[in-house]
Structure 1
């Protein structure tokens, strides 16, 4: 008779996400995970397969919760420049928390892509969603006359995603919003 799972899988994934985000994949052992989650090693393996499976679940959780919420806020703001500024500044603020833990997706890209193609897919999906949401905000802003059509909205959105990725890496080196926020204003000058 199979045993029933005796822990909340979603809560475990959320807690694992926080641990991976703070420590990184390599510095987080299975023992660290079981201790932090309050579950046995057998339960971890039964639920997620292995550490890699739990890491992918944590990335997916990040994508469907935090990253998705940021995109919803972007789409809800009426003014395109204000929405983009708020998105960039908020992502920097989150990245510098806890002594510069960065962005889980960017951290995954830097640490895990060569070893795990499925991580590449998850991170690429997040990047694509961000780029498409930004392109739509920019396209609508051009139609409303809020910004000049100096650049193709998709190209400008790709630039902003690339800029944000670099900014999030920089936040690990310099975890100081006041030092990084002026860079957002320079990037916004490309918006028009």
Structure 2
């Protein structure tokens, strides 16, 4: 008879996500995971695979939790431009918030730490960015169709610019103690939507 797990795999995965998000992949050892998660090394391997596989599962979990919120924000009926502005300002606020900025964004952190040399991590980062760009593009197309965005503006190029800005806000916010830096950058970028 198979032994049942003595821990909640979803709760442990969430806990691993939080540790990796806070410390990064390289700075988190298996010993750190065992101590933080409160389960044995054998249970980690049996349930999640090795450290890298656990990290990738945590990264997937992060995307699953963030994406529906952005989809709801950017696909609400009515004017689309206020939703785009709200999302960009939300990214800036998170990047400027002292309690949250040091952790940064798990996807952005992965892009900087692992994506240059780990194809699976790079693929997940790219998928996350493509998803965000698509959400922004769709909202900007709607804004243009509704007369909120001038017809000569390129919604795809604007979506890409906002994506790059939003990821940059996360990087600069993580390293800078000056919240005005990210807020000013966000507002200048949003002025391009007028």
Report the TM-score when normalising by structure 1: 0.91
Aligned to 2:85: 85
Residue deviations 1:136-171 (CA, integer Å, cap 9, x gap): 100011111011123221111011101111111101
The answer on whether the counterparts of 1:100 and 1:175 sit within 8 Å (CA) in structure 2 is no
1:173 matches 2:166: no
User: Which is further off, 115-124 or 50-59?
Assistant: 115-124
User: Which is further off, 179-188 or 41-50?
Assistant: 179-188
User: Which is further off, 10-19 or 54-63?
Assistant: 10-19
The answer on whether the counterparts of 1:22 and 1:98 sit within 8 Å (CA) in structure 2 is no
CA displacement at 1:175 relative to structure 2: 4.6
Q: CA RMSD in A?
A: 1.8
Aligned to 1:129: 131
Aligned to 1:3: 3
Q: Secondary structure at the match of 1:76?
A: coil
The answer on whether the counterparts of 2:93 and 2:183 sit within 8 Å (CA) in structure 1 is no
CA displacement at 1:102 relative to structure 2: 0.8
Q: Secondary structure at the match of 2:75?
A: helix
Aligned to 1:107: 109
Q: Secondary structure at the match of 2:153?
A: coil
Where in structure 2 are there 5+ consecutive unaligned residues?
Answer: none
Q: Matched residues in 2 for 1:79 and 1:69: separation?
A: 18
Q: How does 1:44-59 map to 2 (within 5 A)?
A: 44-59=44-59
1:62 matches 2:32: no
The answer on whether the counterparts of 2:94 and 2:101 sit within 8 Å (CA) in structure 1 is no
Aligned to 1:117: 119
Q: Matched residues in 2 for 1:105 and 1:156: separation?
A: 21
Q: Matched residues in 1 for 2:62 and 2:163: separation?
A: 17
Q: Matched residues in 1 for 2:25 and 2:33: separation?
A: 11
The answer on whether the counterparts of 1:85 and 1:184 sit within 8 Å (CA) in structure 2 is no
User: Which is further off, 41-50 or 170-179?
Assistant: 170-179
The verdict on how the C-alpha distance between 1:187 and 1:36 changes in structure 2, with shifts beyond 3 A counting, is same
The answer on whether the counterparts of 1:81 and 1:188 sit within 8 Å (CA) in structure 2 is no
Report the TM-score when normalising by structure 2: 0.90
Q: Where in structure 1 do 4 or more consecutive aligned residues deviate above 4 Å? A: none
Where in structure 1 are there 5+ consecutive unaligned residues?
Answer: none
